[in-house]
Structures are given as structure tokens and as C-alpha cells.
Amino acid sequence: MTHAKITHLIYDMDGVLLNTEIYYTEAIQHIAQRYGKKLDWELKSRMIGRQAVVAGQVFIDALQLPITTDEYIEQRDQILTRLFPKAEPMAGAQELTQRMHHLGIPQAIATSSPTPAFKLKMQRHQAWLHVFDTIVRGDDPNIKACKPAPDIFLRAAANLNADPKHCLVFEDSPAGIEAAKTAGMSVIALTDPNMNPDIYRDADEQITSFNAFQPAQWGLPS
């Protein structure tokens, strides 16, 4: 199977570069339990990859919780602030990004996370950040709309001076996959076995980890 010729790589962060989705799940499960409710994977799949205020409204509406989005974010962030600094890389993420950097492939991070959360997550991984040519966060003033809008990926491509059709995005959420496709980019889904596989159907390829990625199929040096 051959794909578009790829010259630039763009990565989501949560659940792609860093194993932080476990912390989001833990935090929102905790909030649901406070009100005698339960988080399931179908609801989680609708929240994943979205800005906090959007995900919070989905969560509150689905479980009919007696709180505002501000209260949800405040409760969630109290838990996450404690957990984020523990974040570890996803399997194969550091190895792949470092290898591509050494081969001269420009790379970007495009994450919905605002700067304070990004700093907490990457606190112990500062040296790793040097392999990325640009990092676009959710509070970038140039981004008018969050995923599933394509803004964040188009901003990353612009920062890389890249044509979107030659960009390959790694994502783990339906919102992120839709954003990448709307931006005119190719996208590989990193799948979670807990999720309904249908949420990844619009991706160009699905892999369980970076260890399964085959760069040569995308015209990249292997």
C-alpha cells in the first residue's frame, strides 16, 4: 500500500507522544463518581482530543451533572496538576521522533493543551523537545477554533513552511483525525483497544504503537 509522499510530520501530544490519557480518564472518572455517575468509553471517545471547555460540556450533558464547565475544569485540573508531571512517553515515540530528527525530517507538535498544562506534562522531557521544529498549543492566539477544526494543524504546517498535502499527522482522537483530514493532511491513528474501532475509520492507517509505523510506505527514510 502506497501513500502520499510525506516530507513533514505533525504529532498530537496526549495519547500520542505522552501517555497522559490515563490521567484524563482517572480525573473525569473521579468527578463522575462524586455525583454517583460512571464514565464509559463511548463518552470518553467523544471527549478525547477536544479543548477542556468543549469536552466538559459533553461530559456534563451526557451525565446530567449539576455543575458548570468552569466547576468541571476546576475539579479536573486539581487532579491533573498532581498527575501530569509523572507523564511518560508512549511506546516508541522518543525513538521515532529522534530518528526522524537525525534524518532531517521537520517535525511539529500540535496539541489542544494550553501552555501551563503543556509545561507540566513535558516537565521531565525538556531535552526531547529539541527534536521538534515548532510546537503549537491550544492557547496559540492564531488558532480561532479548536479540533475538529483544522486550525491547529494548518498553523503547524505554516510554521514548518510545509504544504498540508505533504504532512502526516499522528492522532488518537476522532476530533483530531477529522481536523487533520479537513486540513488536507494524511493521518495515522494510534488506536486504544478500549475504544470502539469505528472512531478511527477515517484515518489513512491505524497502528497500535509507533513501533508498528513503517516510514518507507510514506516515502520517508527508514
pLDDT, tens only, 70-115: 999 999 999 999 999 999 999 999 999 999 999 999 999 999 999 9
Beta pairing class for 205-207 and 8-11: unpaired
Q: Is the dihedral of CA 70, 74, 79, 83 positive or negative?
A: positive
3: three-class secondary structure by DSSP: coil
Q: Report pTM.
A: 0.93
pLDDT, tens only, 117-148: 999 999 999 999 999 999 999 999 999 998 99
User: Does residue 2 have a pLDDT over 80?
Assistant: no
Q: Please tell me the distance from the alpha carbon of residue 185 to that of residue 205, in angstroms, as a whole number.
A: 12
**Residue 222: what pLDDT?**
80
Q: Please tell me the distance from the alpha carbon of residue 59 to that of residue 48, in angstroms, as a whole number.
A: 11
Q: Please tell me the distance from the alpha carbon of residue 221 to that of residue 174, in angstroms, as a whole number.
A: 28
**Residue 1: what pLDDT?**
58
Instruction: Report residue 4's pLDDT band, with 50, 70 and 90 as the boundaries.
Output: confident
Q: Are 134 and 195 found together in one domain?
A: yes
Q: What is the CATH number of the domain that holds 74?
A: 1.10.150.240
| Positions marked active-site | 12, 14
> Which residues, in sequence order, are bridge partners of residue 106?
none
Q: What is the CATH number of the domain that holds 172?
A: 3.40.50.1000
**Residue 25: what pLDDT?**
93
Q: Are 75 and 121 found together in one domain?
A: no
pLDDT, tens only, 153-189: 999 999 999 999 999 999 999 999 999 999 999 999 9
Question: Which residue shows C-alpha cell 489513512?
Answer: 204
Q: Please tell me the distance from the alpha carbon of residue 205 to that of residue 202, in angstroms, as a whole number.
A: 9
Q: Are 48 and 94 found together in one domain?
A: no
Q: Are 209 and 135 found together in one domain?
A: yes
Q: Are 201 and 161 found together in one domain?
A: yes
Q: Is the dihedral of CA 123, 124, 127, 131 positive or negative?
A: negative
Give the residue numbers spanning the domain of 197: 8-18+86-218
Nine cell digits for residue 98: 529522534
Q: Are 158 and 59 found together in one domain?
A: no
Instruction: Please check whether residue 2 lies inside any domain of the structure.
Output: no
pLDDT, tens only, 11-54: 999 999 999 999 999 999 999 999 999 999 999 999 998 889 99
Are 151 and 132 in contact, with CB atoms under 8 Å apart?
A: no
